[in-house]
Amino acid sequence: MKYILKNKKGFTLIELLIVLAITSIVIGAINLFFLSNYKTFFRADDQITVQHQVQKAINEIVDRVRETEKVLQDPVDKPSEYIIEFKTDLTIKYDKTNKIISYKKGTESEVELAENIEKFEIRPIPSESDYIDCKGIEIKIKAKKNGSEVEIIDEVYFRNFKK
């Protein structure tokens, strides 16, 4: 029986500890690589999402506003919402509490354009005119999601402008 036990060879405790240390370093490096790429992916995804939403909202607003004649009245700027109405029964609303831009045409139901909106501003064109006599408007939308921020400014002139 003693003879069988003497001829068996195995690993020493020091060899096992060295292998364990090397394996831990390799796994740690691989984990760091994957975590870094994971964070970068989601950061880029947030940036793309915000940019897409703001671009979609600005395009839809420009398309709708272009067909109108003029702004009916100065925008209503309340603590919880910002509303601007146009002559063609178009209403654009920015819900400051929920950070959502939406529009409504006549008796149709309200359509949500974008979320995560930090700032929504409309200014008359030319800038020295008031809203009722303006030939167009400048639209500024700023959105933010998880640190990714996008701001788009666009101008639109009323196609059917009449004084």
pTM above 0.75, yes or no: no
Surface-to-core class of residue 61, CB atoms within 10 Å of its CB (0-12 exposed, 13-18 middle, 19+ buried): buried
Residue 134 · residue 151 · CB < 8 Å: no
CB 82 within 8 A of CB 76: yes
pLDDT digit string (tens) for the chain, length 163 residues: 455 555 567 778 888 899 999 999 999 999 998 888 888 888 888 889 889 989 998 998 888 888 888 888 888 888 888 888 888 888 899 999 999 999 988 888 888 988 899 999 888 888 888 888 888 889 999 999 888 889 999 999 888 666 6
67 vs 64: CA distance, rounded Å: 6
- Separation CA 39–CA 135 (nearest Å): 46
Instruction: Indicate the pairing of strand 76-77 with strand 100-105.
Output: unpaired
